[in-house]
Every structure is written in structure tokens, then in C-alpha cells.
Structure 1
Amino acid sequence: MEYSKLNPPLNTAHVDHRVPIYRVHMIIYTIAILAAIYHRITSILASSTFVEASVLWSLLISDIILAFMWACVQAFRWRPVRRQEFLERLPDRVTWPSLDVFVCTADPHKEPPVGVVSTALSALAFDYPAEKLSVYVSDDGGADVTLFAFMEGAQFARHWLPFCRQNGIKDRSPEAFFSSGRCCAGGDDQDKLKMMYESMKSRVERALEKGSVSAVLASSETQEDEHIFQQWKDFSRNNHPSVIQVLLESSKDRDVAGHVMPNLIYVSREKRPKSPHHFKAGALNTLVRVSSVLTNAPIILTIDCDMYSTDPTSPHRALCYFLDPAISSDLAYVQFPQRFQGLNKNDIYGGEIKRLFTINSHGFDGICGPNYVGSNTFHARRALFGSSLQCVNANGQDQIGSKIVLEKETEVANCDYEAGTKWGDTIGFRYGSLVEDYYTGYRLHCEGWKSVFCDPPDSAFLGEAPKSLNDVLSQCKRWTVGLYEVGISKYSTITFGVRKASLAAGLCYSHYAFWGFWSIPIAAYAVLPQLALINNKPLFPQPSNPWFYVYAYLFLAAYIQDMADFIAYKGTFRCWWSDQRMWLIRGLTAAPFGTMQFVFKQLNISTQGFNLTSKVMDDEQSKRYDQGLFDFGVDSPFFVTLSIAAIVSLCGFTVGIIRNGMVAEMFLVAFGVANCWPIYGAIFLRNDSGKMPDRVTARAFVVAAFILAIGCVAFNV
């Protein structure tokens, strides 16, 4: 379907009105950076001892890294764009292209099957022609309970979909709808549906608890169902054949109101111990191939298993771009922001990740389009296939259940299908990084494709953010490793990206690729000013020296602009404070540990592989999170480094108050102490299970004492 250029536009784009202010500030700030670097160099040349020179060199390197990262961020501010869609101008629904939706899950214990089913049901309930809508579920854990949950969900969908249509429900995830306590016009139907849903949920959870579906299959279950689950007797997570089940077929199935049902297909690809499976990217590529055999929709939506739809018209917004002849020819994907439910008032762990998912995406949109963030993304299938479409079922979806199609779909889900092909290289989702979403979007942009950021006023999708500090940092560590795998490779963002995409795009991608570099300046400023303060050795000019105001400007201007951007995108001061504090925390934990893991990986030293972030919390953790209390209740090396920095800062602050002479150093140390307040509470004041473990505290005090002793010796040589 091609939308005529003579018709009113389906979308508009406007450059942010703050661009002139951004650019003026860039010039002034750049001059200040160069001046500060000049001052550092002259200070090094004038240093009288090796220790003093070494400390100043450390600060110079830190400042250069900060300057590089600042320059990368400015690319986002060069030309941020705001877009608007006009849904009422879309052509008739009968002309709309088909849509395939991909939902991936990998572990029923960390990603509860009922929640995954609810996400899939929210997609099945899109306001979209049912005969053109298909939902594919990738179960990379090969768990019988996940298939069982979707078989139950398919039956529930026959009642849920007409209920949503008739009552104008927006949040079409049954889990979200029923847990919210909302009521609608269909009161009696709602009560019956809730009972059905709770019954389904109970059966699935019982199967998960018992570890076997057979244990909960009622005598009324068909012999065919029992036969399906017999296959799992010899299955293990990483050693099983492919299993593909068509649970709903639009050409056959109807809901209770007599309407056509969308397709629902369960896919568990073949896995063998000696065959690489490439994690989520491999699972997505299997879905790309299986779907091309069965339905071959030109548009593909990828959503995380916990990221349910809160707006059934979100595909309409995507169509406003895919059907726009002015941009559709090179449009690879339309990215919606990720937003999260259940965050506490001040978002203490920075779970909103507003810069990545919203602020920077608007900036990216003015260059080549936003990076792919793994979920809430409508892809053009042809962009994933490159120049050639393979595995296409030319006969159409009316033969979904035929023997030929069954053989073909099983073949493309085999673990050795990709051997000797370009899958993962120039076709499909790209392999080579733990952050397959970032890498895929980056490679597509380098190939000349564009993307669009669609940020509607109301959330189109809502998900679950990690609400355990250790989980948050573990996730960030994994991202750090994956980003290094792109930044330090033959496809490096700073060389290949600048050459193939553009300077601005290369800088934007470099901001993420070298995110782990933040650990160097953050660690330096977490220790050196404190030691200088304790030993009365100034590292910065005093207020009587004009150079003092250069450093003051660099610090204050960067923070004020960051805060202003955050608040401009519907943030609050307290959430911004939490966000910048988490930036510092990640810089002392996830970034250095991720850097070490990447180095070990390059040296072929065994390290921990891919880990899922748990979507399950116990009641005590949940209660502490809702109260805004940090959870330090596990013996983690992350918390050792945090405690060391907090103790060193507290010592420096105490000495600084007594001496009261070095203004810049005292300000930096006080700022660090303010950010460390939750850590002090966990070490000294709390007695709950979320307090800092005694072993962590003991190790931190020992190392901090060693650092302070070394500092005293070194600074007084």
C-alpha cells in the first residue's frame, strides 16, 4: 500500500526550539574545557614531586575522558526532533499491511509464564485487522510450562479479545487490568473473566511449582495435549529439538463473539550443546525465519516479555511512518520509548533510564533516527533481510497447518540452519555483542537505513524495571560488556560508525559504546580529592585564583543543563537526583566490573555468561523499594567498591570540616557524601535484611584504611 504524496501528511517533525541555546552553550563550554586542560598541563609541568605529577596526570586523563564523553553527548543535542502522527489520515484498514509480533522469553522462573501470556494477549488485542495480525512467542528456555501457559492463554483469548473491544479497554494485558482494580461497563462479564483468568493463572503457577505440566493436566484434557507434553521428558534447557505449535489460526479460529482470531504461534527453537545459539538475537532470527514461512508480514514488532501494550492503537502510529512515501523507502524501524510501571516516587535506582529511552532518542532522531533498544520496535522486514528475502511461504498463510509448511518451519528453526549463511552478519538481528539490540540498530544505520522515534503523549507500552540494586547493576555490567564488544571491534563506532553513518551518529553511538570509560574519572574523583583534603594538598585553584571559576563553571553548567533536560522531559528534581546518583554508582560498580569482564573475555579467561534479570521480587524487597530504601542485602563485590568510596569520602569530609580551607576539594567531597547517604544508612543505621552485609562492611573498611594509609604516605613523601 502506498500513501499518495498528494494526501495530507501522516506525520510531521519539528526541530526542538532549544537548539540555538544548546549550540551557543557548546561553544562556551568547549572553550572552558580547553582552558581547564591547558591549566592541568601547566600544573603538571610546574609540579615538584613525582606523586604530585602522577595525581595531576590522573586528573588530566580523567578530564580528557569527561571531555570526550561530553562531546559525544552534544551530538544528541545538535538537532533533537519532535514528531506528531495523524492517525485519522490513515487509509482504509483493508489496505493495511500485515503485522507479526515477536515476544521472547527464556526462563519461566525469572519471567513468570502468566506475565508473558498477558503481554502476548495485549498484542493479540491490538486494534488491528485480526486476519493480518500474528503473535509469535519464542520460548528459549524450552519449558513445557510456557507452552501450557499459552495453550491456556489461547482459550482465554477467545473471551478476552471481545471483552476489550466491547468495553474500550486500553490496558489490554489481563494481569495489569485485573490487578489495577478498574471497573468497566461489562461488570458481570468482568467478574466472570477475572475468575477465568485467576483459574488459568492458578493452573499455570501450580505446574511451575510442581515442575511438570503432566501433574496438573485434568482428565478432561485431550489425548493430543498429553502427547504434546510427553516430548518434554527427554528435554533439557540447552538440548532439545524444535517445537512449533500453532495455538490460534485466523483462518479457523473464532472468539466467543464470532470474530476472527489473530494467529498465535509458539516457537521453541532447536538447541544442542555444541551449537551456538546467540542468545536473544538467535531467538529473534529464528522467529524471523519461522514467521516468513507462515505469515511473512512486512512489519515486525518486537516487545519484551514483560512490556505489555497500553495503547491498542500503537500500530496505527507506526503505520503513519511506514506508509509515508517520503520516508518509507529507507525506514528500518519505528522505535517507541520504554516506560515502566511500579517505580517508587523518587525512582531510587534510576529505573526509568530517561536519557536512553527518551531524551537521547529525540536527539538521535534528528540525525539518523534512534538506536534500537530491544523492545517496542516496529521493524520493516526487508531491512532485516537486506537485499534478499529468504524462507518466504509464497502460498500465503492459508496453508499454515500443511505438511509442507510444517517441514519448512521446522527446518528453519534447526540449530544448524544458519551455518555457512549471512544470518547474524548482514541478515537479521546481528550477532557479536551481548547488546544485540544496540548492535543491530547501529549496523542498520551504518548500512544507510533510517529510523524514527515515536513518542506519543501517553505510554504505548509499559514494562517492569529491575527493583533490586544488585539486579540493576548486574544488568548494567552486562550492557557494559556488550557495548565494549561493539566499540572495540572492527565495527567501532568511532571509526566505522563515523565513516559509514556520520560524525554525529558515530559520536552518539560512541556515547554508549564507551560507557565503561566513565569508571575512570568517577573512580579518580571518588578518591583523589578526598586524599588531597586529608593531607592538605590542593588539587584545584582557590577562589582567589581566576582558574577556580573555570572549574566551577564546568561542574555547575554540566549539572544544571543535565537537570534542565531531565525536568523538561516530565522529570522531577528528586528523580533527577536519583538518576545522577545512579550514574555515579554505576561508574563505581557496573562500569569497572564490566570493563574487567570484557578484558578477561578478550584474553579467553572464563567469565560469567548472559544472565536474565529476574522479574520476581519477594515481599520484603518490594516493601523496602516502595519505601525508597536501597537494598544492599546480598554479599556483592559491587557493594564493596561502593562502601570503600563512601568511607573514604566520609573521612575526607570530616577532615575537611575541621580544616576548612580547600574549597573546590571540599565541595566535591561533600557532593560525594551527599550521594553516599543511602550507603551510610545501610552501614551504620539500618537493621533490616536490606542493610549492608557485615562481611561487605568489614572488607570495605580494611581496603579504605589501606587506601588512606597509602595516600598519607604518598602525599607526604
Structure 2
Amino acid sequence: MITQSCTNHELSSNWIGAIHSSYTLVLGLNRGFVIAGIYTEQASKTSPDELEKKFGQSPVFIASTLLENGGIPDEARPASLLKEAIQVISCGYEDKTDWGKEVGWIYGSVTEDILTGFKMHCHGWRSVYCIPKRPAFKGSAPINLSDRLHQVLRWALGSVEIFFSKHCPVWYGYGGGLKWLERFSYINSVVYPWTSIPLIIYCTLPAICLLTGKFIVPEISNYASIVFIALFISIAATGIIEMRWGGVGIDDWWRNEQFWVIGGVSSHLFALFQGLLKVLAGVNTNFTVTSKAGDDGEYSELYLFKWTSLLIPPTTLLIINIVAVVVGISDAINNGYESWGPLFGKLFFALWVIVHLYPFLKGLIGKKDRLPTIILVWSILLASLLTLLWVRINPFLTKDGLVLEVCGLDCD
């Protein structure tokens, strides 16, 4: 996607747009560039009153956008420029204007870049895929797991906000310039937090199967088994193709797979609840802005844990599956070798969940950067509660099925 940046000289000549906004807008468009690039022809045919209603009451600012190459109008004086700058950067400048609605950053979501890009594409703008040899912008996501989960929570919350707003790509922008493939892409960017619900179910079912002695699915035919294996192979092949296309190593790919599960059962789930509270009850949530500074160091803080409630759901799932594996193996040992065959399928799914949650397992058993005790306590309590909901303990029921509650100690 093409971006527009500026040098110090260009920044000084476009001072008014740089002062009023963060200058670089989504797709690299600043406030002055948005007006000049989108509205130059229309603005020349628009009355001054309409321009002020749309862009604010700054004649110098509006006049600068009508210039073909930008810059400052010749009639502007230094004293008036300072006065205009103070007016433009004031908090009330955007009141009763189209800033935040049709011009500049679009308000209403903490992920304003997605929302702004979506509206621009609805107006007919086209994106160009651009990868310069020298990166135009460089930054890195937080390596620390706790901070990274907070970052993902912010992204997911923004997607939930867009999903419940009038700008949801499911129903907004029909009849405009948005193409169908673009719409599908934007729909995917706002509905992905909802995948946390089935993901939590899938991570819980293996433990339930081991604790109850039942399997996730009934016995299937050979044809269904072939279809399942083919689907599994196609998913693996897709991952390999994406790795080769993106130049990603196997370690980075696996780390991304792990974090997809961890973020899905924690940050995405919390984002759903916070988004629903904001829409239904008007409860606003605060988020922590994470650092984007680039760091060429190794992953020294990858498994460092800090207290956050986001760590409780994945730790709970990890403990439940570990307990289920222990219970399943114990039952197989007590019941003989005949029970080992059905056990392998159940163990495979449970161990697959545990492997994806390995960073938490390392935090549980590691001597350094150990998981905070409060997270461990809450996770054990939740795991015990969920386990007892599925394992019904009745002291009056024997293994042979006699109900001791009826006949007491006189049962034969």
C-alpha cells in the first residue's frame, strides 16, 4: 500500500496540516494532502462558507489546499500564520465540521486506520502494493507476551467497534467504489474476534473427552477419514506456501501459530465483552498504547510474564488439558491395554492444545520469569470448577452400578 512521507523542508512548507494532525494519515495521507488530493477540483467550485463548514474556519489553511503543489499562500504574513496555527491546533477547531466524519481520520474506533482506509476505498480510492528496498516505516511489535496481548486486545476491540457501527463493511458502502474482494477483506478484519468463541470450545473439548470418556466425534467411515486427512494436508500445504511466499522461517511460523491460539482465547474474547459493554451499556474502556520502537535484539522477553487478566483464560485451558491427560492415562492404566487404542485419539487433540499453549507451560515450570502466582491461583480455581461441572462425583454409586444410597451397607 503506497504511503506518503515528507522531508523537513516539505514539513515546514506544509506546516498547517502537520501541526493540526499527526501528518501521516492512513495510507500516508495527512490532513492537507487529503483535502488537496481529494477535494481540489470540488473545492474550487465550492463557496467559502461550505468550505469552512467542511474543513473549519481557517482561511489560510483552506487557501493552502487549493494550491496545486501545496505550500503557503503568498498573501499570508508571519503574524497571521501564527494566529492561524494556534486556531488550527485548538481542541474546538473540529467542532461542527466534517473532520472525523468525512475528512481526515475517521473517528469511532480505536483502530482508526482500518476505518479510514475503508471509507476511502468506499469513495473510490485504490491501493497499490508497494515494497521498497528500504523500508518506508519500520517498527516491531512488543516481544513480551503480556504487552503483546494488550496490543492485540486494542486491535480486536477496534474491530468489534466497527462491527457494531454504521460503518460495518457487511452493510455499509454498497453502490460506491468498494470492490467485492475488498469488502471480503474488510469483513474479515472486523469479524475475526468472534472466532474466539469456537476456538475456546475446540480447546476445551479434548479435555472434556478425556474426563468423560467420550470422543469429540463418533466413529467415521473410511471415506470421511480420507476427506479429513485431505483437509488437514491442504491446510498444512497452504501454510507452507505462505511461508515460502513471505520468506518466514519455521520458527517464526510456529511462534505465530502459538500466538494466534493464545490471543484468540484471551484478547479476542475480552474484546468481544468490552465491545458489547460499550455498545449496550455505554461503558468506555481504556487501553495501553504499546511501544512501536524497532529492536534488533533476540527474543529475550518472549516468555516474560507480567500480571494481566488476559493470561487467565489460556492458563486455565492449559491446566484443564494437563489434568485431563493425567486422568486419561490413569484410567487407561487401570482399565487395561484395551482402552489404550481409543485413548490415543483423545490424547492427540489434548496434546495439540498443550503444545500451542507451551509458553504458559514454560512459565509454570520455569525457574526464571515464572508465571505470576495470582494468575496460577485463578486459573487453578477456574479449571477445578469447570472440571467438576463435567465430572459428577457420587459416593453412593459403585463401579458396578449399584446405588448404595438406596440399600446402604446391606447391599450384596
TM-score with structure 1 length normalisation?
0.46
Aligned partners of 2:108 and 2:161 also within 8 Å: yes
1:548 offset after TM fit, Å? 3.1
**1:410 and 1:265 mapped to 2: Cα distance?**
10
1:461 offset after TM fit, Å? 2.6
Aligned partners of 2:150 and 2:287 also within 8 Å: no
Aligned partners of 1:384 and 1:427 also within 8 Å: no
The correspondence for 2:318, drawn from 646, 657, 676, is: 646
Are 2:116 and 1:440 aligned?
Answer: yes
Are 2:313 and 1:637 aligned?
Answer: no
Map of 1:683 onto structure 2: 364
Q: Cα 1:464–1:379, aligned 2, differ >3 Å: closer, same or farther?
A: farther
Q: Cα 1:514–1:647, aligned 2, differ >3 Å: closer, same or farther?
A: same
**2:112 and 2:164 mapped to 1: Cα distance?**
15
Deviates more, 1:536-545 or 1:521-530: 536-545
Q: Cα 1:438–1:421, aligned 2, differ >3 Å: closer, same or farther?
A: same
**2:293 and 2:206 mapped to 1: Cα distance?**
40
1:533 offset after TM fit, Å? 2.6
Are 2:73 and 1:403 aligned?
Answer: no
1:599 offset after TM fit, Å? 0.8
The correspondence for 1:701, drawn from 369, 372, 380, is: 380
Name the SS of the counterpart of 1:451 in structure 2: coil
The correspondence for 2:205, drawn from 516, 528, 538, is: 528
Map of 1:626 onto structure 2: 299
**2:246 and 2:265 mapped to 1: Cα distance?**
27
Map of 2:355 onto structure 1: 674
Greater helix proportion = 2
The correspondence for 2:144, drawn from 468, 472, 476, is: 468
Q: In terms of Rg, which structure is larger?
A: 2
Map of 1:596 onto structure 2: 273
Aligned partners of 1:543 and 1:549 also within 8 Å: no
Which amino acid is the alignment partner of residue 643 of structure 1? T
**2:182 and 2:202 mapped to 1: Cα distance?**
30
Name the SS of the counterpart of 1:496 in structure 2: coil
The count of aligned residue pairs is: 361
1:553 offset after TM fit, Å? 3.3
1:564 offset after TM fit, Å? 2.1
Are 2:94 and 1:418 aligned?
Answer: yes
Which amino acid is the alignment partner of residue 320 of structure 2? V
Q: Cα 1:627–1:474, aligned 2, differ >3 Å: closer, same or farther?
A: closer
Aligned partners of 2:5 and 2:28 also within 8 Å: no
Which amino acid is the alignment partner of residue 308 of structure 2? S
**2:187 and 2:269 mapped to 1: Cα distance?**
17
**1:431 and 1:402 mapped to 2: Cα distance?**
32
Q: Cα 1:545–1:606, aligned 2, differ >3 Å: closer, same or farther?
A: same
Q: Cα 1:651–1:478, aligned 2, differ >3 Å: closer, same or farther?
A: same
Which amino acid is the alignment partner of residue 565 of structure 1? E
Map of 1:150 onto structure 2: none
Q: Cα 1:541–1:457, aligned 2, differ >3 Å: closer, same or farther?
A: farther
**2:29 and 2:255 mapped to 1: Cα distance?**
24
1:440 offset after TM fit, Å? 0.4
Q: Cα 1:615–1:424, aligned 2, differ >3 Å: closer, same or farther?
A: closer
Residues 59-70 of structure 1 aligned to structure 2 (within 5 Å): none
Q: Which runs of 5+ in 2 are unaligned?
A: 44-50, 56-60, 333-339, 398-412
Cα offsets for 1:443-475 (capped at 9, x unmatched): 111111111120134433322322222221111
Which amino acid is the alignment partner of residue 642 of structure 1? P
Q: Cα 1:628–1:601, aligned 2, differ >3 Å: closer, same or farther?
A: closer
Q: Cα 1:479–1:699, aligned 2, differ >3 Å: closer, same or farther?
A: same
Aligned partners of 2:208 and 2:390 also within 8 Å: yes
Cα offsets for 1:77-136 (capped at 9, x unmatched): xxxxxx9x9xxxxxxxxxxxxx764xxxxxxxxxxxxxxxxxxxxx54xxxxx5xx22xx
1:428 offset after TM fit, Å? 1.6
Which amino acid is the alignment partner of residue 139 of structure 2? G
Are 2:230 and 1:549 aligned?
Answer: no
Residues 288-437 of structure 1 aligned to structure 2 (within 5 Å): 301-302=24-25, 372=26, 381-383=35-37, 385=39, 387-388=42-43, 390=55, 391-394=61-64, 396-397=71-72, 402-437=78-113
Map of 1:66 onto structure 2: none
Name the SS of the counterpart of 1:416 in structure 2: coil
Q: Which runs of 5+ in 1 are unaligned?
A: 1-82, 86-98, 102-122, 125-129, 135-248, 251-262, 270-282, 288-300, 303-371
1:264 offset after TM fit, Å? 7.4
Which amino acid is the alignment partner of residue 472 of structure 1? R
Aligned partners of 1:541 and 1:664 also within 8 Å: no
1:558 offset after TM fit, Å? 2.2
Aligned partners of 2:110 and 2:157 also within 8 Å: yes
Map of 1:713 onto structure 2: 392
Which amino acid is the alignment partner of residue 125 of structure 2? W
Are 2:162 and 1:486 aligned?
Answer: yes
1:662 offset after TM fit, Å? 5.0
Greater strand proportion = 1
Cα offsets for 1:26-69 (capped at 9, x unmatched): xxxxxxxxxxxxxxxxxxxxxxxxxxxxxxxxxxxxxxxxxxxx
Residues 274-293 of structure 1 aligned to structure 2 (within 5 Å): 283-284=21-22, 287=23
1:615 offset after TM fit, Å? 5.5
**1:654 and 1:499 mapped to 2: Cα distance?**
58
**1:545 and 1:652 mapped to 2: Cα distance?**
28
Are 2:249 and 1:576 aligned?
Answer: no
Name the SS of the counterpart of 1:687 in structure 2: coil
**1:529 and 1:497 mapped to 2: Cα distance?**
42
Q: Cα 1:595–1:535, aligned 2, differ >3 Å: closer, same or farther?
A: same
Are 2:122 and 1:452 aligned?
Answer: no
Q: Cα 1:373–1:444, aligned 2, differ >3 Å: closer, same or farther?
A: closer
Q: Cα 1:606–1:513, aligned 2, differ >3 Å: closer, same or farther?
A: same
Q: Cα 1:462–1:707, aligned 2, differ >3 Å: closer, same or farther?
A: same
1:594 offset after TM fit, Å? 0.7
Name the SS of the counterpart of 1:661 in structure 2: helix
Q: Cα 1:424–1:383, aligned 2, differ >3 Å: closer, same or farther?
A: farther
Q: Cα 1:416–1:546, aligned 2, differ >3 Å: closer, same or farther?
A: same
Residues 221-240 of structure 1 aligned to structure 2 (within 5 Å): none
Q: Cα 1:374–1:592, aligned 2, differ >3 Å: closer, same or farther?
A: farther
Name the SS of the counterpart of 1:462 in structure 2: coil
**2:199 and 2:253 mapped to 1: Cα distance?**
18
1:583 offset after TM fit, Å? 0.7
TM-score with structure 2 length normalisation?
0.76
Q: Cα 1:552–1:605, aligned 2, differ >3 Å: closer, same or farther?
A: farther
Residues 148-167 of structure 1 aligned to structure 2 (within 5 Å): none
**1:692 and 1:401 mapped to 2: Cα distance?**
62
**2:392 and 2:266 mapped to 1: Cα distance?**
27
Cα offsets for 1:264-304 (capped at 9, x unmatched): 789776xxxxxxxxxxxxx44xx5xxxxxxxxxxxxx45xx
Cα offsets for 1:298-326 (capped at 9, x unmatched): xxx45xxxxxxxxxxxxxxxxxxxxxxxx
Name the SS of the counterpart of 2:391 in structure 1: helix
Map of 1:495 onto structure 2: 171
Name the SS of the counterpart of 2:275 in structure 1: helix
Aligned partners of 1:433 and 1:482 also within 8 Å: yes
Aligned partners of 1:424 and 1:431 also within 8 Å: yes
Are 2:244 and 1:567 aligned?
Answer: yes
**1:641 and 1:437 mapped to 2: Cα distance?**
29
Identity %: 24
Aligned partners of 2:141 and 2:291 also within 8 Å: no
1:384 offset after TM fit, Å? 5.6
Q: Cα 1:604–1:461, aligned 2, differ >3 Å: closer, same or farther?
A: same
